[in-house]
Amino acid sequence: MPQEMSFAQALTEARQIIVQQSNRIKTDLEKLKALQETIATQAGTIADSDRQLKQKTAELEAAGDQIKTITVHLEESKVAREQAEAVVDRQGQRLTQMQETIAGLEKQLADQSAKFEQTTRELDGLRSQLPTQEDTEALAALTALLSAKKGAPAAKPIESPAQDGAAAA
């Protein structure tokens, strides 16, 4: 049989159990407070992380938009460069054609200058073969003299093309 306890022993034992329970409750309360502090700290950390995550997401979206804008500008620049290259190519072809035309014209000019010089030399040669003003006057005087001896009327003096050119000038 169980041994009977006195009221005082039962009270002492009950008090010890209450003190133990009280100590356990205090310990559990301290643990709960520590857990609450940990949870609060972690909640703050999570909130900071969430805020940073949102900030980084916004930055990434802005960077993505910037990349899209830059990509559009890059494509526009490529098209502009290709158009400029096409214009430069056409201008280069035109320049080449013009240089060829100029070379042809320069050759024609040189040929014509040479022909002009040759014609001038031929003209000078022919002029040297024509009678001079003195020769024409002497011939006219001789003709007049011969006409006077024969009794024929005086002949009209012959004019040279050199005289015609001098009279026209």
Residues 57-93: tens digit of each pLDDT: 999 999 999 999 999 999 999 999 999 999 999 999 9
Q: What is the pTM of this model?
A: 0.42
> Cβ neighbours of residue 133 under 8 Å, at least 6 residues apart?
162, 163, 166
pLDDT of residue 63: 95
Place of tokens 């009209």: 156
pLDDT of residue 1: 41
Q: SS3 sequence, 61-129?
A: HHHHHHHHHHHHHHHHHHHHHHHHHHHHHHHHHHHHHHHHHHHHHHHHHHHHHHHHHHHHHHHHHHHHH
Examine the pLDDT at 146 and tell me if it is beyond 70: yes
Question: What is the residue extent of each domain of the chain?
Answer: 11-149
83-114 pLDDT, tens per residue?
999 999 999 999 999 999 999 999 999 999 99
Q: What is the mean pLDDT of residues 127-142?
A: 87
14-34 pLDDT, tens per residue?
999 999 999 999 999 999 999
